[in-house]
Amino acid sequence: MTELGEFFARYPRCALAFSGGTDSALLLYEARRLGADVRAYFVRGPFQPRFELEDARRLAAELGAELSVLELDVLSLPEVAKNGPDRCYHCKRAIFSAIARRAAADGYGVVIDGTNASDRSDDRPGMRAMGELGVLSPLRICGISKRRVRELSREAGLFTAEKPSYACLATRIPTGVAITRGALERVERAEDALRALGFSDLRVRLAGDSARLELPEGQLALAAELRGEILSALKPMFGHVVLDLDGRKNTD
């Protein structure tokens, strides 16, 4: 199995698609520890919540790494805005193409990302887009699972070690329903409000004018206890607020 040291010896100068999440955070840390010249690129657009950029900036500062923030309005792409089953493919292709163009201008010819060995690739259109563009995934190549990513992150003292996985805001809108900025903003405000009430690893999914809350099973009792506060925070934004009693599973 290839080790990260071997990978960065082979590719000592890389552009990292940096989300501020657990996987790309560890990859940036390891690249710097191993002496590789890796620059982080964060693509800011309507699908990324503010806290992701804040986390990316915080981590880059703590590691002394350079972070470039690129602006990209993926909603300007009809294939993305109409939210068909291939939305993720077109979105990822646009994002990684933007990173590749900027990275090439900065002198970085190899683009890497934080996909790990636990991530499925057989049914993810976004993975297909990255494959077509030649994006490399060192964690996956080296067989590093999500569990191992968290273990290594704890050992390194990274604040992202226990950060829940987070899918972009577009995943909160049913496939086939056109995505609007207003819908994305409502989702982000609702999820921010729930986090302020003490919830974590959550999703607020839209269904017409309704919001369906998906919380981890261990937080359902807290939701019942804070029913009034939840309704007070969310009812101004949605006609109905419902709670999924099955509890949230770690999929999107």
What are the pLDDT tens digits along the chain (252 aa)?
Answer: 469 999 999 999 999 999 989 999 999 999 999 999 999 999 999 999 999 999 999 999 999 999 999 999 999 999 999 999 999 999 999 999 999 999 999 999 999 999 999 887 655 788 889 999 999 999 999 999 999 999 999 999 999 999 988 889 999 999 999 999 999 999 999 999 999 999 999 999 999 899 999 999 999 999 999 999 999 999 999 999 999 998 887 654
Instruction: Label each residue of 73-121 as H, E or C.
Output: CHHHCHHHHCCCCCHHHHHHHHHHHHHHHHHHHHCCCCEECCCCCCCCC
Please spell the DSSP secondary structure of 35-54, one letter per residue. T-EEEEEEEE-TTS-HHHHH
**Helix and strand totals (H; E) in the chain:** 11, 7
Which pLDDT value is given to residue 33?
95
Instruction: Give the whole-angstrom CA distance, residue 143 versus residue 206.
Output: 36
Domain ranges of the chain: 4-156, 180-243
Which pLDDT value is given to residue 65?
94
Would you tell me the crossing angle of helices 22-33 and 146-156 to the nearest 10 degrees? 60
Which pLDDT value is given to residue 242?
95
Would you tell me the crossing angle of helices 87-106 and 125-132 to the nearest 10 degrees? 30
Short-list 74, 84, 47, 76, CA closest to 176: 84
Q: What is the CATH number of domain 180-243?
A: 3.30.70
Cα torsion 77, 69, 40, 145 to 10°: value is -50
Residue type, 131: G
Which pLDDT value is given to residue 252?
45
Which pLDDT value is given to residue 1?
47
Instruction: Give the whole-angstrom CA distance, residue 153 versus residue 24.
Output: 11
Candidates 3.20.20.100, 1.10.287.3510, 3.40.50.620, 3.40.190.10; CATH matching 4-156? 3.40.50.620
Which pLDDT value is given to residue 166?
86
Q: Burial of 77 by CB count in 10 Å (0-12 exposed, 13-18 middle, 19+ buried)?
A: middle
Instruction: Give the whole-angstrom CA distance, residue 136 versus residue 130.
Output: 8
